[in-house]
Amino acid sequence: MIETAAGGHVARITLAAPERHNALDRAGIAAFHAALDALQPEARVLVITGRGKSFCAGAALGDVGASDWTENPLTALCDRIEALAMPTVCALNGGVYGGGVELALSCDFRIGVTGMRMFAPPAELGIHYPPEGMARAERLLGLRLTRQIFLLARRFGDAELLEAGFLDELVAPEGLEAATGTLVDRITALAPLAVQGMKLSLYEHGRGSGEPDAVRARIAACFASEDHAEALAARAQKRPPVFRGR
């Protein structure tokens, strides 16, 4: 159900149950956590994608009907993804539904494919969507669109998702891998201490949880880093910098 790969500074997690639209049951969520546990320190970016025609259909309905989801394990997984130090790229190979919407929103960047659509059907199923999942949508898309997603169970097409800001980029299905690679190359070419520090500051700011002293410490650490010295030297020598994350 979960496949992992790593190479250089890039880690990859693939949802691999296309026969059920990559819906996650509790075992799949546990396997996803195990994949996150196994991320290596040298990884600077995580790509999350799926196999088949859908990216993710959220929680497996059999699990939802048979369990108490008041403490939603998929939301807990999304909390963990959003809090990762490294940037995350969601390569949406197809449609995104239900809890899959929250999974996509927990990533920093989203690339979609033409023909995809998105909707969250809990209101049609008599289910209350996780509040933190709705809050993720509100932070990114605003309250008006969030109401349409959850209170109306509105279906969104590919162009609408790009216009709404749900997607950073929309490409043909055959171009998804190349577009993802271009974005990953850009991220891994940048100074990881600076990127990770700013990601954390943005995360804290969005929740009103940042400590000014901690932010100042991150700023000072970047100015004192070898990577900052390397950037200055590279500019003076008119060459690309080689950042080492220290």
pLDDT tens per residue across all 246 residues of the chain? 899 999 889 999 999 999 999 999 999 999 999 999 999 989 999 999 999 999 999 988 666 555 566 778 999 999 999 999 999 999 999 999 999 999 999 999 999 999 999 999 999 999 899 999 999 999 999 999 999 999 999 999 999 999 999 999 999 999 999 999 999 999 999 999 999 999 999 988 877 777 888 889 999 999 999 999 999 999 999 999 999 988
What is the reported pLDDT for 206? 79
Nearby residues of 106 by Cβ (< 8 Å), 6 or more positions away: 78, 79, 81, 82, 88, 136
What is the reported pLDDT for 232? 95
Sign of CA dihedral 160, 184, 193, 80: positive
Q: How far apart (Å, rounded) are the C-alpha atoms in residues 192 and 213? A: 21
Three-state secondary structure readout of 144-180: HHHHHHHHCCCCEEHHHHHHHCCCCEEECHHHHHHHH
What is the reported pLDDT for 72? 87
